[in-house]
């Protein structure tokens, strides 16, 4: 069932594609293969998700997808070689499926972004900035809390499509104890184990949230460091010394956590013009991959809906 939105204005949809590809890769069995034996479980799961996602959109919306293609080569790795070092790089089978999913998305008519210097999150942040400059409400489809930074007003939303969990600015702030615009500072303090962002040892989510609720941002925290002892958290008397001792690490962590919202020469998305031809291209591509059955039926239903709407 299509999601209802606060208004009927043109909307910018920002899809964190890689996270849904990985979700399918880890959750679906190795049941589907190309004619020469390459696995397709991630492609199968992602293609079903993409079909359901496109059904939510409207003609004229910005419909975009970003892909992580900077594994080990992005600017954050230049700042901090240990960034995301605990993650394994995709093997040949997964790399094939990542490329295939991008091609599938392109054929569907969705505007796709990715490259060696920036992460998917940066492309989405830059697209969000371009959308807001045109007064478009933004919906980011992801499971990644870091992308909550893209919420700027009450028309914007963070939506985990697969779990059907949607957060606006108020709900995001309630969950994490900080506003979206404070989230990079929050990660600079608590760190992020998944991305290998160091943060400050011993500073947990509650302490970080209380510091930012009191001071607003890290710059103000540094200016008023002497008043940290008055914050109602355990170990407050020694907290200022701990923060001061890790000042450079906090600065680095903030650089790693901050999304780049101005990628050079970033082109805005073209208004989405879904039609039966795009679905036909997707169906032909899936058939060429040796995918059959219910997934093709879902795309054919979408094709029929698009034909009626066009």
Residue 3 lies in a domain: no
Residue 233 and residue 99 share a domain: no
Q: Are residues 147 and 192 in the same domain?
A: no
Confirm whether 5 is domain-assigned. Answer: no
On whether both 28 and 141 belong to a single domain, the answer is: yes
Where do runs of H (alpha helix) occur along 62-119? 75-79, 92-107
Q: 0.85 exceeded by the pTM?
A: yes
Query: What is the C-alpha to C-alpha distance for residues 150 and 126, in angstroms, rounded to an integer?
Result: 9
What pLDDT, on the 0 to 100 scale, is given for residue 3? Answer: 46
| Last residue in a domain, options 257, 272, 287 | 257
Q: Give yes or no: residues 268 and 242 share one domain.
A: no
Does residue 37 belong to any structural domain of this protein? Answer: yes
* Three-state secondary structure call for residue 198: coil
CATH of the domain at 227: 1.10.150.20
Q: Where among 218, 233, 257 does a domain terminate?
A: 257
Tell me phi and psi for residue 24, to 5 degrees: -65, -40
| Domain identity same for 267 and 248 | no
Same domain, 253 and 264: no
Instruction: For residues 116 and 242, state if they share a domain.
Output: no
- DSSP character string of 11-30: -EEEEEHHHHHHHHHHHS-S
End-to-end distance of the chain based on CA atoms, in angstroms?
20
Q: What is the DSSP string of 110-151?
A: -EEE--SSS-HHHHHHHHHHHHHHTT--EEEE-S-GGGGGG-
234 shares its domain with 268: no
Q: Is residue 270 part of a domain?
A: yes
| 132 and 196, same domain (yes or no) | no
Q: How many domains does the chain have?
A: 2
Query: Is the same domain home to 140 and 286?
Result: yes
* Residue 122 in domain: yes
CA-to-CA distance for 269 and 118, rounded, in angstroms? 18
| pLDDT of the residue at 154 | 94
Q: How far apart are CA 24 and CA 32, in angstroms?
A: 12
Residues 153 and 198 placed together within one structural domain of the fold: no
Does residue 175 sit within a domain?
Answer: no
Strand partners, 111: 64
Domain assignment present for residue 128? The answer is: yes
Q: Do 273 and 245 share a domain, yes or no?
A: no
Per-residue pLDDT of the chain (310 residues; tens, 9 = 90+): 344 444 557 899 999 999 999 999 999 999 999 999 999 999 999 999 999 999 999 888 999 999 999 888 899 999 999 999 999 889 999 999 999 999 999 999 999 999 999 999 999 999 999 999 999 999 999 999 999 999 999 999 999 998 899 999 999 999 999 999 999 999 999 999 999 999 999 999 999 999 999 999 999 999 999 999 998 888 888 999 999 999 999 999 999 999 999 999 888 888 887 777 888 999 999 999 999 999 999 999 998 887 776 6
Per the domain annotation, does 4 fall within a domain? no
- CATH number at 82 reads 3.40.50.1010
- The domain in which residue 201 lies consists of 180-257
């Amino acid at each position: 069932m299509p999601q209802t939105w606060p208004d009927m204005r043109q909307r910018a949809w920002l899809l964190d594609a890689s996270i849904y590809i990985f979700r399918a890769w880890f959750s679906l069995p190795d049941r589907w293969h190309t004619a020469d034996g390459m696995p397709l479980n991630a492609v199968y799961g992602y293609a079903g998700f993409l079909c359901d996602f496109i059904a939510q959109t409207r003609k004229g919306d910005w419909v975009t997808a970003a892909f992580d293609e900077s594994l080990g080569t992005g600017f954050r790795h230049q700042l901090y070689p240990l960034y995301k070092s605990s993650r394994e790089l995709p093997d040949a089978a997964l790399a094939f499926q990542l490329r295939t999913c991008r091609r599938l998305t392109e054929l569907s008519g969705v505007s796709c972004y990715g490259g060696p210097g920036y992460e998917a999150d940066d492309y989405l942040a830059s697209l969000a900035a371009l959308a807001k400059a045109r007064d478009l409400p933004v919906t980011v489809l992801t499971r990644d809390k870091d992308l909550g930074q893209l919420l700027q007003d009450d028309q914007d939303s963070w939506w985990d499509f697969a779990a059907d969990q949607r957060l606006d600015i108020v709900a995001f702030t309630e969950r994490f104890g900080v506003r979206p615009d404070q989230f990079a500072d929050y990660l600079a303090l608590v760190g992020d184990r998944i991305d290998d962002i160091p943060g400050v040892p011993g500073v947990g989510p509650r302490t970080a949230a209380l510091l930012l609720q009191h001071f607003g941002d890290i710059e103000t925290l540094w200016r008023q460091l002497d008043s940290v002892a008055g914050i109602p958290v355990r170990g407050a008397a020694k907290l200022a010394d701990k923060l001061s001792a890790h000042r450079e690490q906090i600065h680095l962590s903030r650089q790693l956590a901050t999304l780049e919202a101005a990628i050079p020469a970033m082109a805005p998305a073209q208004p989405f013009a879904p039609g039966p031809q795009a679905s036909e291209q997707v169906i032909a591509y899936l058939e060429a991959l040796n995918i059959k059955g219910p997934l093709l039926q879902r795309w054919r239903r979408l094709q029929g809906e698009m034909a009626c709407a066009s």
